[in-house]
A and B are shown apart, each in its own frame.
Chain A
Amino acid sequence: MSRAVSSPLGKDLVGLEGLSADQIRTILDTAEPFKEISQRRVKKVPVLRGKTIVNLFFEPSTRTRVSFEFAEKRLSADTVNISSSGSSVVKGETLVDTARNLEAMQIDMVVMRHGSSGAARFLAERIPSNVINAGDGRHEHPTQGLLDLLTIRDHRGPIEGLKVCIVGDVLHSRVARSNIFGLLALGAEVAVCGPRTLLPVGIEEMGVGVFARVEEAMEWADVLNVLRLQLERMQGGFVPSLREYNRIYGVSRARLDATGRDLLVLHPGPMNRGVEIDSDVADGPHSVILNQVTNGVAVRMAVLYLLAGGAPDKAEAAKQGGEA
């Protein structure tokens, strides 16, 4: 009877793995009206007024942290930022102790970036606050996956049946994993392309194709999601040199033009211009990289809003909308 739904996502957003197509579509559809709020003169709605959100960043991040912070503030939540440098984490406190201390100050949500895969689920299972994963190790970065899906849908219509190729350092990439789970759930065909040293062993078992040559990937795909070569993780001799990587796998204007096809190019940032992507692509007509950034705020607003709902039993008692 009631049209009201209580938190269609459950308590936390740890990853896109395991979310249904309906749940993902709900987030993307909810993000649509939130885009408009950022265009207003007063960029604020009162929906999360009185909620306290802690942004707990154990790894450096500018884009994601700022994007979450804008999302939180535009929904009128109160926010606190904690980064690992300058916090008691460097003094040896455990993750759970840090979180419990925050909880003792009556918080409602934690947005966490952490270097260890699985840290978000670990925390989510131990504290009653909502936990949103803002990237954990090589595991997942679900809001990045969602904003990529939203950007693709904005420019190419329904995700179902689209061919999307993820190019580059898939091995170290939580963005790649969230993209693969989200795209497959919505019915896209997914492939990866990169040097074998940067593709996880057994990636085919996730249900994705593999291209060895970027030219072949470009012939096949409707959408390229170009990943950052994580230079800070390249001590292991994964690629001979950055110049060689660019020569073989770099997404260049010449390669795009040679396909004669209208490919959409995404990049999660920050870009290494001249390594995985050339400037004439990043700044060119194929690129939707800045649309991704804009959509990031809307998607994060949608996730915060959907998670912030009340308990399920209360939804039953809720009266129907419509009457004033």
Chain B
Amino acid sequence: MRASPRMPLMDDAAVRRALARMAREIVERNGGIDGLVLMGIRRRGDVLAALLRDEIQRAEGRPPPTGALDITLYRDDLAEVGPRPVIGETQLPPDGIDGHTVVIVDDVLYTGRTVRAALNELMDWGRPARVLLCVLAERDGRELPIQADIVGRRVDVPGDERVEVLVPAEDDRLGVDLVDPGEAR
């Protein structure tokens, strides 16, 4: 075991600063908050979406409708991985997503397969006018032609480390770590 299997990349304050900037970028991209919907990917993306919603409310005076996507049933690795018994619920905002600018919020953009699954699920729910991808951390290793529109931090991963986003609801702190393989979350 190496001396420090877990190296912090962003602490609580750094994540909050990044989220404040990302919130501004989202509003700017959409030209205000009319027609804006945030959809966080479970688990952790939905927590980040709620933090972004709060930031946008602080700046604009009202929150954008926010929902959550659970992409378990849209994964492409059931045959390899087996079923995941815990499936979260997908929650849409009351007015749905038709004709809205939908911002997909996730923690880490890596292979792009989660985002592919999220896009497929969104299309089953309705017809957004436009979809943007917003991630707190982006690393290389894409297996699909997918890129993020709004990024908190780009991370260079030298070896086979993992980038982990930690959120209070799941991990009792907010931050981004670079984690040695073999170190479980």
Which residues of A are at the interface with B, using a C-beta cutoff of 8 A?
Answer: 1, 3-8, 26, 29-30, 32-34, 36-37, 40-42, 44-47, 75, 305-306, 308-310, 312, 314-315, 317-318, 320-324
Contact = CB atoms under 8 A, between A and B. Distances in A.
A310 B126 CA distance: 31
B125 A42 contact: yes
B59 interface: no
A6 B77 CA distance: 12
Nearest to B163: A323
Contacts of A75: 73
Interface size range on B against A: 35 or more
Contacts, number: 111
Name the residue among A30, A41, A323, A324 with the largest chain B CB count within 10 angstroms.
A324
Interface string B174-185: 000000001011
B84 interface: yes
Interface string B110-130: 111111000011001110000
A320 B135 CA distance: 18
A314 B73 contact: no
Nearest to A31: B87
Given A33-B70, A37-B73, A306-B85, 7 more contacts: A7-B83, A26-B85, A41-B125, A308-B83, A323-B108, A324-B41, A324-B111
A314 B163 contact: no
Contacts of A40: 124-125
A36 B89 CA distance: 8
Nearest to A22: B85
B80 interface: yes
Contacts of B44: 322
6 contacts: A5-B83, A33-B90, A36-B89, A41-B126, A42-B124, A310-B81
Given A33-B70, A44-B124, A4 B114 contact: no
Nearest to B118: A324
Contacts of A318: 77, 80-82
Nearest to A7: B82
Contacts of A42: 124-125
Contacts of A312: 82
B107 interface: yes
B162 interface: yes
Nearest to B90: A36
Name the residue among B82, B90, B107 with the largest chain A CB count within 10 angstroms.
B82
B135 A33 contact: no
A34 B74 CA distance: 13
A54 B90 CA distance: 30
Contacts of A3: 84
A75 B73 CA distance: 9
